[in-house]
Amino acid sequence: MCFSASASFVTAGVTGAIGLVVLSRVSDPRELPLAATPLIFAVHQGIEGLLWLNLPSAPDGALSKALTFLYLFFAEAFWPLYAPIAVWLIEPNEKRRRLMAVCLVIGAGVGVYLFWWILGHPYVATIVDGHIVYAAAYRQPVAVGAAYLAATGLPLLLSSQRTVVVLGAIVLAGLLVAYAFYWEAFISVWCFFAAAASTAILCHFEWSRRRRLRTAGA
């Protein structure tokens, strides 16, 4: 979250609560990765909340460095692989699954590359104008950013399920807003918008549950 420790912790609490509700709606093991996404968002936001608390007193301390690494691991290395897997598992259309599999391969490559990048180019987290800015000595190539976008956003838009497409639209809208208005704190702000997408995930599972109930009662 980009604004304060309290905002990060509130976001973590809300998305965590949503995640618990979503998990109660799961009817198939293949749905678990998508259903667990809000809980992972909650952990991610909680990490940044702790970073907010620690940076003012020990910006160069071991805890700040560890929290920065964990936050960036989720933001840059984890999601490009996890997102396409979660959507691929619940997609019933075989043609769309094949397209998502391509995104999954791209995501695996991007995730491994960015994990290596984080290890080889240590980031420094600083609070600037009400945001946490994650900066490294070198910028990643533009092609890597495009591949990241393809891996995390495109599988959602390829889904045959309307609520998943809405989720993809929310994530991409957040990405564009963060890129346009909060460039220096892009990683932090974009992840906040992604966390807000937990509501769309809840809607997806709630509507799926109601559809099953209607089918069972028919």
Q: What digits encode the pLDDT tens for the residues 82-137?
A: 999 999 999 999 999 999 999 999 999 999 999 999 998 888 898 887 788 888 86
What the block records as the tokens of 83 is 């997102």
What the block records as the tokens of 121 is 């180019």
Strand partners, 208: none
Closest CA to 82 of 3, 27, 148: 148
Chain mean pLDDT for the chain = 87
Is the pLDDT reported for residue 150 higher than 70? yes
Q: What is the structure's pLDDT at 186?
A: 66
List domains and CATH numbers for the chain: 5-217 (1.20.1070)
Q: What is the structure's pLDDT at 180?
A: 65
Is the pLDDT reported for residue 8 higher than 60? yes
Closest CA to 18 of 209, 197, 210, 207: 197
Q: What is the structure's pLDDT at 160?
A: 94
pLDDT band at residue 38 using 50, 70 and 90 as cut-offs: very high
Report residue 217 CA to chain centroid gap. 36
Q: What is the structure's pLDDT at 218?
A: 55
Assessment of whether the complete model's pTM goes beyond 0.85 = yes
State how far the Cα of 150 lies from the Cα of 84, in Å rounded to an integer: 10
Q: What is the structure's pLDDT at 167?
A: 87
In percent, the amount of the chain with pLDDT more than 90 equals: 52
What the block records as the tokens of 207 is 């509507």
Report how far apart, in Å, the C-alpha atoms of 207 and of each of 39, 85, 159 are: 20, 21, 16
State the maximum Cα–Cα separation within the chain, in Å, rounded to a whole number. Answer: 62
CB 79 within 8 A of CB 39: no
Residue whose structure tokens are 């208005």: 181
Strand partners, 134: 125
CB 57 within 8 A of CB 98: no
Strand partners, 210: none
